[in-house]
Structure 1
C-alpha cells in the first residue's frame, strides 16, 4: 500500500472532511478523494462513508488507520536509526509553536543550533497548540510546542512524547492609569463591568479566558476581537479595554500596560513534544536539549 495514501487516510480520520484533509496535506479535495479511492481498490474494502457534509471511516477504515499510524511510527524509528548511524546533525527540522512561547525561546534556540550545526535547517510555523499537536500526529511537523490548557496531556500518549519547558500564570492586563492597576491581585469578578479585548480569531487562550469569565458568573463585554497580542495590548494601553493574558507577555510588556496577578491563580504548563518513534533522532534530540537550555536561561 502506498504511504501517501495511508497518510491521506490518517488525515481524513483526523479532519472529518475531504476539504480539511486536503488543506492539511496541501492537496485538492479531489486528489484526496482519488487517493482514498485508490486505497479502497488496493485493499478491496470500503474505507469511508458519507455522514451529512462530511465523511467518517468505516470499521475497515478505522482498522486500517490504526495500522497505518503504527507503520508510520515504525518508519520514524527507522529514519532515526539511519540518522544516528550517519553521525551527523543535518537536514530540515520543522517546528510548530504558539506565539507567546515561540517569541521568547525560539530565536535563541535557532541561533545556537545554527551556530553548532551548519547543515541543520529549522523551519518554524506559528500554530496554536491544538493545531500543532495535530500537525505532529499527521507528520506535518517534527516538533510541537504545546500547553495543557489546549491539550489534555493524557491524549496521544501512545504516539507522542513530551518534556516540560516551563509553567506560566495568567495575568490581568490593564492600562497603567486604570484605577485597579495598583492592586496586587484581581479576581475576574473585579472586572465584570469592564470592556474586554480578546484574542479570538484563532487563539485557544481567548476562548479559555471567555470560559473563565463565564465560570466567574458573567459574560465578558468584548469590544475588541483581535488577531494577536499586539492589538490586545494596544487596546489595553489606550484604556479602552482590559484583558487576561499569559504571564510570558509580562517579560516583554509594551509601555502603558500594567500586569496584575489573577486570583485565584490560573497556571498552565508548557511542553515540547515529538513523535515517540523519533525519540533518538539526532535532530530531535539536539533541538529538545537546546530549547530546554534556552528556556531555563530566559524564564525563571
Structure 2
C-alpha cells in the first residue's frame, strides 16, 4: 500500500473533513478524495462514509488507520536511529509554536542551532497549540511548543513527551488614563463593567479568558474580536477596551499601555513537545537543549507596570486550577 495514501487516511481520521486534510497536507480537496479512492481500490474495501460535510471512517478504515500509525511510527523510529548514527547533523528540523511565545523563544533558538549545526535547516511555522499537537501527531512537525491553558495534558492517540520550559503569568492590559491606573494589581471583578477586546486567533485561548471572567461572576462585554495583537493593542490604546495579555507578549512593544497583575493570578505552563523516543535524534535533542537555555534566560516573570509614583511589589500567586 502507498504510504502517502495511508498518511492521508490517518490525517482524515484526525481532522474529519476533506477540506481540513487538504489544508494540512497543502493539496487540493479533490486530491485528498482521489488519494482515498485509490486506497480503497488498492485494498478492495470501503474505508470512509460521507456524512454531510464531513466523513466517517468505516470499521475497515479505522482498523487500517491503526496499522498505518504503527507503520509510520516504525519508519520514523528508523529515521531517528539513522540520525543518531550520523556524524553530521543535517537535513531539516520542523518546529511549530504559537505567537506569544514564538517571538521570544524561536529566533534566538534558531540562531543558536545554526551556529551549532550549520548543515541543519531549522524551519518554523506559526501554529496555535492544538494545531501544533495535531501536526506533531501527523508527523508534519518535529517539535511543538504548547501551553496547558489551551491544550489537554492527555494525548490518547499519540505517544508524546512534554518538557516544561517556563511559567507565564497573564496580565490585564489597560489604557494609561484608566481609573485603575494607580492600583498595584487588578481583580477581574473590577473589570465587570468594562468593554473587552480579545485576540480570537485561538478560540480556545479567548474562551479561557471568557471562562475566567464568568468564574469571577460576570460575562465580559466584548466589543472587539481581533485576529492580531496589534488590533487588540490599538483598541486598548484608544480607550475603547481592556484586555488580558500574556506576560511573554508584554516583553514586546506595548507603547503607553499599562500591564497590571491579576489577583488571583492566572498562570500558564509552557512546554516543548515531541514524539516519544525522538529525543535520541541529535537535531531534536539539540533544539530542546537550546530552547531550554533560552527559556531559562527569560524565565524571570515580567514585572507589571507600577502605578504612578509607586514601585510594584510581587504578591501571592494563586493558580486557577479550574481553567482548562
| Contact kept in structure 2, 1:194 and 1:221, CA below 8 Å | yes
Within 2, Cα distance between the matches of 1:238 and 1:270? Answer: 31
Displacement of 1:242 after TM fit?
0.5
SS state at 1:255 partner: coil
| Contact kept in structure 2, 1:74 and 1:277, CA below 8 Å | no
SS state at 1:279 partner: helix
Displacement of 1:72 after TM fit?
1.2
Counterpart for residue 159 of structure 1: 159
Within 2, Cα distance between the matches of 1:55 and 1:157? Answer: 19
| Contact kept in structure 1, 2:167 and 2:299, CA below 8 Å | no
List per-residue Cα deviations over 1:90-116 (Å, max 9, x = no partner): 111111110111101111111111112
Counterpart for residue 250 of structure 1: 250
Counterpart for residue 96 of structure 1: 96
The more displaced of 51-60 and 196-205 is 196-205
Counterpart for residue 169 of structure 1: 169
Within 1, Cα distance between the matches of 2:249 and 2:280? Answer: 33
Counterpart for residue 230 of structure 2: 230
Within 2, Cα distance between the matches of 1:255 and 1:36? Answer: 52
Displacement of 1:239 after TM fit?
2.0
Within 2, Cα distance between the matches of 1:43 and 1:290? Answer: 45
- 1:35-114 mapped onto 2 (5 Å cutoff): 35-114=35-114
The more displaced of 75-84 and 195-204 is 195-204
List per-residue Cα deviations over 1:176-212 (Å, max 9, x = no partner): 2211122222221110111111101445322221222
Within 2, Cα distance between the matches of 1:56 and 1:214? Answer: 36
Within 1, Cα distance between the matches of 2:7 and 2:15? Answer: 12
Within 2, Cα distance between the matches of 1:215 and 1:58? Answer: 41
TM-score (norm 2): 0.88
Within 1, Cα distance between the matches of 2:157 and 2:167? Answer: 20
| Contact kept in structure 1, 2:201 and 2:226, CA below 8 Å | yes
Displacement of 1:7 after TM fit?
0.5
| Contact kept in structure 1, 2:47 and 2:57, CA below 8 Å | yes
Within 2, Cα distance between the matches of 1:193 and 1:54? Answer: 41
Higher percent of residues as helix: 1
Within 1, Cα distance between the matches of 2:58 and 2:78? Answer: 30
- 1:5-20 mapped onto 2 (5 Å cutoff): 5-20=5-20
SS state at 1:241 partner: coil
Structure 2 regions of 5+ residues with no counterpart? Answer: 301-324
TM-score (norm 1): 0.95
Counterpart for residue 207 of structure 1: 207
Counterpart for residue 274 of structure 1: 274
| Contact kept in structure 1, 2:168 and 2:248, CA below 8 Å | yes
Counterpart for residue 116 of structure 1: 116
SS state at 2:269 partner: strand
2:196 matches 1:196: yes
List per-residue Cα deviations over 1:39-85 (Å, max 9, x = no partner): 22222222111222210111111111122112111111100111111
Displacement of 1:228 after TM fit?
1.4
Relative distance call for 1:225 and 1:130 in structure 2 (3 A) is: same
